[in-house]
Structure 1
């Protein structure tokens, strides 16, 4: 995740931590006997959880983490920094018994200079006290929150070793794009912790990483590529002078621009300059071109003191009345909201799962935009959004509540951390500077807007509210609209940030008519969106079901608001979103039905009928026909019911005139809803897809599917395995609830409930790699049906670690 070059060493610091779910002040001491503590590898929750039905107190406690490590002799005389990407919610850090600092806020990263507390070449111990209780002084807490925060050191931890003259921060922005190229602005902070002045240059080098968009088939969920440099932020005032800008070059050749820097002893300088990149390749949602940027600090004598790398996309993004003006073309934003939580582990999902979510949003759901509700999310997720071309609206932590002055100051710190961490991501097009759905607070929101503009003057601000009369202080009026038929705009530009959600919660095991209506509700709203030229776009609530507090949901601690369940398995609504992507990206052909007798409108039989003739007339009427919706991006489909053709059908543009790809619909008599339906999709007159809708015949066997067949043996990497109950035709039993038992054999372990009851004929569990390469065999069994197994390989971890 953290790139390093010749002069900057980044060590993976995730392995072999000692953990105890107790709180004793003495646990900070060097000589504590932690041999009996649990050994864990980060990221990790402070407690594994059921996927539902658990009280929040389960994870709301204080705990301690300890790790012994030895720095190599090469670290002598270098600056040594501990970097933590996220620990929920307040962390106190001790190194060799010394208290070095505290960080409040579980959604933001922090770094601590531990140079003076460590001993190079000798055993060191770091101890972290983590308070995961409900801290009402730390956003988003203070009021009711409609999501769980969970607990633990749930993101990655690193150790950085570099020269005491170093790059502290690099910030690139695209100032303008023309047919000839792009004008960029660099802001580089350089620090000198030595007792001597230093002079030299800082350079920015751009290497074009890819000549085309990353192919979805080649997208590596476990890739370590990319991420921002792990810099510490400090004040910076001095300026140097630009030296040169490269002569015009081929777009595939590297580009370099340099700037002179003069540093006083113990001083910090900010180098700011602009340069032109001829023929720049632009980042776009359809073609996410990325540059590998190398920042290098070189003394006057030619010695490289520090270098670091990150990825950058050249692009402009400006709010427009009917979309986002991306590189001069209007892009209608079609997206969903994403919570970062996963079953069993809460927020403690490793890089692979984070990256997979971005893949699901882009390629399985066909979206071009995501809102990271309601807090900063993992860097790995944002990296994948950069790679795949998913636009991101991200925001500071919060939910409805605004606290006192100290709370607001903490929120401003959170906003600072969010922007300075993530502002090099091309996918991020707007900063959220309001607490989600909070009341108006003029002074506070003037401060958040001004802060955002001072840290990043190029990106617009937005602030999510749920009332139309809210004071408009941002660049974009961002509004949650639960009207089920998008209301007239209040301001321009305007972006709808939530719709649906709690208006029609739908569990994956709900009856088919509700699942169908859930999908159609989403289709109706998106159809309304595409008929509007006064909205930038909209993001529905939400992508995935998530755990929440008892005040929300049906009482099992789950909000069933997602178009997918919490295991990222599709409901019918997910198929609707998938069908709206261009057929050139992926052909989609899915029938939103289980094709069972119970799905037909038999309620018409419950009314009082005068005689058999009246009943026969009722059964023969159109009322007793069941519509079957097919979500597809094909031009036309042909339907065969039990071998008999119902003819070719066109999309229902009468009902959904504005959608890129309206659903198809055909109807079947209530007493014919049984057997098989074969559906063939056509594009430009050519057959491009087929699917079969088969009435379930009763489960006979289990089916296992791993999201990944290869993991890295680092103790942290893991993938999801889905088990389904299917019949002899391979059709899932949509209401199967068998208890499934898993067995894991080999260098890995299961993460989750075991045994566990299926929901809607399926269930998920995670498999985590151990520290030794090998082969993991996973077996699933259930009473009365054939068992299933799958194999996952683990490969050697070659990343440098302490």
Structure 2
């Protein structure tokens, strides 16, 4: 019942996001969109840098041969959605700035229904217009957003225009300096979503935090008639309950049952159907418990070691931003082949279909927001942005059994302002979801030449302490690793969230020669020995599954704008170190 104590706070904090798009009536707007590249933002600002009232979002056409209109979407180039612009057009490979997107569509809205437009993500800042009217804005490149268009949409000849801008800025989340490619564009699916006048907007259905046989949750309606009877059915469990929502459209429930618990060995998902007077929605939900006790991570009451790997949202083999279910299946099959049961999604929320495939395949997930490196800790708007991205991540994925860890930061420098910023984020995360564990990837320091201490003061507020370290790569050579010991001030599980070394696939040589597969293998061999004596080790997610693009990595002939720490090359070829980690993980069976 502790779960339900948080429901009131959740609705005071949550976004307007519609959950479970897959379970609703949708119309895809994916495909080719017309685009205009606008590096000076001429379609948005006039020459005095004031916002224009007749910008590109008006989609103007000359009404006579004398009219001056200096753009034309219909005669311009096209880009595919979902997709990044960097890998679709060579001339846009390094482009950072504004591109305008336009999509024409017809839609015959059913009488008495409402219509929304839903974006899986657009990087980084998006301003959305329908038929020349501004719908709103969204900031953050990895979380979904939606707007209602019921009163604006027409049966014929609608034009949806989106200004997408991926310029980096000091106050953004992430900030100006990262170690991944700044893929711009509408990078995830776009849908029209049709719902009844009063519809099931959101819901949370999970095992109670302290029970294996009690399911708790809530349902939230949106619309004119908020007080209704709502039915929840789980046919396989022979469970059917009815609740009544209140004047705010909220209904909560708890019921006893005995589900087969979801786990990597048996990723059991149940069909769940929620029905109100005019709406119904289905989902596939797994039920499991995750907790910590005496320095260990417990899944369904039993200790588990997280045999993991980190991964960016880079498309396997073809490159660019990953977006398809097939991309997810390829990546997670590699994790399975590695004998893994866990993946750390760096350094931002990955797409929803990836999490659903993880649910199906039984891969545990660490999901993170891009509070990364040198965020402006004392900037109120930066915090608001980070908090909103955290809220959108949890809102979208809170019913996914595979996610066991919400992460609020990566490699952030110590300061009082930083501690206050991150502590407030953990408070928000616990208000939104108290059934999962909280973590962050922290750094460490030496107390003597052979001892490293884990004592970041932020660790006090976490359930699991993440640790990034690069012994043998940035910190000495591989033969240094055997001389190191770790100590921790926290009796909490530790996940070594990053270690690794770079190697160009196919480059062979001496084990002390940088960039060779032998050097990378040597680092992994020594790191595995170190892991075996790490205190409270609950898991590991070495850096990284696959080589990925990064502007920070220009070394010709070796990096060529790729971070080469992957166990698999950007062409999908496994390096020697893959098999070393595979063999280590095999020992846990």
- Following the alignment from structure 1 to structure 2, what is the Cα–Cα distance between the partners of residues 164 and 345? 42
The correspondence for 1:29, drawn from 58, 75, 78, is 58
Partner in structure 2 of residue 187 of structure 1: 218
Structure 2 residue 207 is the aligned partner of structure 1 residue 174: yes
The correspondence for 2:29, drawn from 3, 6, 13, is 13
The correspondence for 1:272, drawn from 240, 245, 252, is 252
Paired residues of 1:370 and 1:539 also in contact (CA < 8 A): yes
Cα deviation, residue 315, structure 1: 0.5
- Following the alignment from structure 1 to structure 2, what is the Cα–Cα distance between the partners of residues 63 and 345? 21
Structure 2 residue 243 is the aligned partner of structure 1 residue 259: yes
Paired residues of 1:482 and 1:498 also in contact (CA < 8 A): no
- Following the alignment from structure 2 to structure 1, what is the Cα–Cα distance between the partners of residues 251 and 411? 36
- Following the alignment from structure 1 to structure 2, what is the Cα–Cα distance between the partners of residues 439 and 346? 33
Shift of the 322–70 alpha-carbon distance from structure 1 to 2, 3 Å rule, reads same
Paired residues of 1:544 and 1:566 also in contact (CA < 8 A): yes
- Following the alignment from structure 1 to structure 2, what is the Cα–Cα distance between the partners of residues 39 and 544? 30
- The structure with more helix, counted as a fraction of residues: 2
- Following the alignment from structure 2 to structure 1, what is the Cα–Cα distance between the partners of residues 295 and 504? 33
The correspondence for 1:140, drawn from 174, 182, 200, is 174
Partner in structure 2 of residue 388 of structure 1: 361
- Following the alignment from structure 2 to structure 1, what is the Cα–Cα distance between the partners of residues 567 and 485? 19
Partner in structure 2 of residue 575 of structure 1: 579
Partner in structure 1 of residue 508 of structure 2: 511
Q: What CA deviation, in whole Å up to 9, does each residue of 1:544-574 have, x standing for no partner? A: 1111123676662111111111233210111
Partner in structure 2 of residue 474 of structure 1: 462
Q: What CA deviation, in whole Å up to 9, does each residue of 1:227-270 have, x standing for no partner? A: xxxxxxxxxxxxxxxxxxxxxxxxx454222211244xxxx322
The correspondence for 1:361, drawn from 331, 335, 338, is 335
- Following the alignment from structure 1 to structure 2, what is the Cα–Cα distance between the partners of residues 448 and 139? 13
Please list every run of 5 or more consecutive structure 1 residues that lacks an aligned counterpart in the other structure.
Answer: 208-251, 299-304, 583-658, 662-802
Partner in structure 1 of residue 157 of structure 2: 123
Partner in structure 1 of residue 272 of structure 2: 293
* Structure showing greater Rg: 1
Paired residues of 2:171 and 2:375 also in contact (CA < 8 A): no
Cα deviation, residue 349, structure 1: 3.4
The alignment partner of 1:425 has SS state of coil
- The structure with more strand, counted as a fraction of residues: 1
Cα deviation, residue 59, structure 1: 2.6
Give the alignment of 1:313-712 within 5 angstroms: 313-321=286-294, 323-342=296-315, 345-362=319-336, 364-403=337-376, 404-440=379-415, 441-467=418-444, 468-471=454-457, 472=459, 473-483=461-471, 484=481, 487-501=486-500, 504-513=501-510, 514-530=516-532, 534-550=536-552, 556-580=560-584, 582=586, 659-660=587-588
Q: What CA deviation, in whole Å up to 9, does each residue of 1:649-670 have, x standing for no partner? A: xxxxxxxxxx559xxxxxxxxx
Paired residues of 2:464 and 2:495 also in contact (CA < 8 A): no
The alignment partner of 1:536 has SS state of strand
The alignment partner of 1:498 has SS state of strand
Please list every run of 5 or more consecutive structure 2 residues that lacks an aligned counterpart in the other structure.
Answer: 1-18, 45-54, 62-71, 445-453, 472-480, 511-515
Partner in structure 2 of residue 284 of structure 1: 263
- Following the alignment from structure 1 to structure 2, what is the Cα–Cα distance between the partners of residues 198 and 540? 48
- Following the alignment from structure 2 to structure 1, what is the Cα–Cα distance between the partners of residues 98 and 521? 42
Structure number with higher relative contact order (C-alpha < 8 Å, ≥ 6 residues apart): 2
Paired residues of 2:20 and 2:396 also in contact (CA < 8 A): no
Shift of the 275–283 alpha-carbon distance from structure 1 to 2, 3 Å rule, reads same
Q: What CA deviation, in whole Å up to 9, does each residue of 1:263-310 have, x standing for no partner? A: 4xxxx3221111112x31110011111112222112xxxxxx111122
Give the alignment of 1:708-787 within 5 angstroms: none
How many positions carry a matched residue from both structures? 514
- Following the alignment from structure 2 to structure 1, what is the Cα–Cα distance between the partners of residues 229 and 294? 43
Paired residues of 1:335 and 1:367 also in contact (CA < 8 A): yes
Paired residues of 1:337 and 1:370 also in contact (CA < 8 A): yes
Q: What CA deviation, in whole Å up to 9, does each residue of 1:82-118 have, x standing for no partner? A: 1111111000000000011000110111111111221
The alignment partner of 1:374 has SS state of coil
The alignment partner of 1:64 has SS state of strand
Q: TM-score under structure 2 normalisation?
A: 0.81
Paired residues of 1:71 and 1:122 also in contact (CA < 8 A): yes
Instruction: Give the superposed CA RMSD.
Output: 2.6
Q: TM-score under structure 1 normalisation?
A: 0.61
The alignment partner of 1:383 has SS state of helix
